[in-house]
Amino acid sequence: MTDLLVALAAALWGAAAGAYLPRAAYRFSAPAGEPWREACPQGHPVRGWVGRAHCPTCGTGSYGPGAAPLSLAAALVCAALAAATGTRPELGVWLLLAPVGVLLAYVDFRVHRLPDPLTLPLAAAALALLGVVALVPEHAGEWLTALYGALALGGGYFVLFLINPSGMGFGDVKLALGLGAALGWYGWSTLMLGTFAGFLLGALYGGALVVVRKAGRKTAIPFGPFLISGAFLGLLIGAYTA
């Protein structure tokens, strides 16, 4: 019963947090090389980063993504993490980071861009928060492994970026730091599982696009959503088996 209540509370938290993502999703969804959006499609200024993508000056009033899809995605992710983690203290970290992951996945899928104002703070927050959790009884991970995981995954993706810059963006390298910390918390096997899952999901998506002739073999696809999805799956299994 307790686990069910925790999962329900996590879902409500995710739904509420996701409802505040649309404005940031719109503003960050600017193509590479362009500044973050500061105006609605009609040219009226957009202020702030949190809340609905709503412009009272426009005739339609709304722009950017709707709140419902982002809210639903965040709710499902948070509920799944709570179901796997239970009442262990690291659940608080996962619930804080999950909405950021949803936002990053949306932005990268839209414009093939992972914003530094999101990826770098994600990595710093993951390590800092997990460091605090490591001091709390009943946690199920290791902070040092989280740190090494961040360095290992970030370093591995950096090597891939140097080998093939057209296939691996530097934003993916910075995102890997935060995801490596989260996966590394539960150990090296979780880190490898989450990494493999990300590559597998990306390969399946790219292969499907080729099969339906929506892309060629050299077509660039956003890897961030699959890196995040793979880390999410790895984290679920790591949390459940910890």
Q: Give pLDDT tens digits for 85-139.
A: 999 999 999 999 999 999 999 999 999 999 999 999 999 999 999 999 999 999 9
At residue 216, does pLDDT exceed 70?
A: no
10 in Cβ contact with 81 (< 8 Å):
yes
Give the pLDDT band of residue 214 (cuts 50, 70, 90).
Answer: confident
Q: How high is the pLDDT of residue 32?
A: 85
pTM above 0.85?
yes
Q: How high is the pLDDT of residue 88?
A: 96
Q: Percent of the chain scored above 90 by pLDDT?
A: 74
Residue 45 bridge partners (DSSP):
39
Q: How high is the pLDDT of residue 150?
A: 97
Give the pLDDT band of residue 2 (cuts 50, 70, 90).
Answer: confident
At residue 240, does pLDDT exceed 80?
A: yes
The one-letter amino acid at 166: S
104 in Cβ contact with 162 (< 8 Å):
no
Q: Is 39 left (phi over 0), alpha (psi -120 to 50) or beta?
A: beta
Q: What would the pLDDT profile of 147-157 be if each residue is shown by its tens digit?
A: 999 999 999 99
- Average model confidence (pLDDT) for the chain? 92
Q: How high is the pLDDT of residue 210?
A: 79
At residue 213, does pLDDT exceed 80?
A: no
At residue 237, does pLDDT exceed 90?
A: yes
Q: How high is the pLDDT of residue 173?
A: 95
CA 172 to CA 233: how far, in whole Å? Answer: 18
Q: Which token pair is 86?
A: 């239970």
At residue 38, does pLDDT exceed 70?
A: yes
Q: How high is the pLDDT of residue 65?
A: 83
Question: In terms of Cα–Cα distance, which of 141, 143, 175, 129 is closest to 156?
Answer: 175
CA 163 to CA 158: how far, in whole Å? Answer: 9
At residue 59, does pLDDT exceed 70?
A: no
pLDDT top residue among 32 and 19: 19
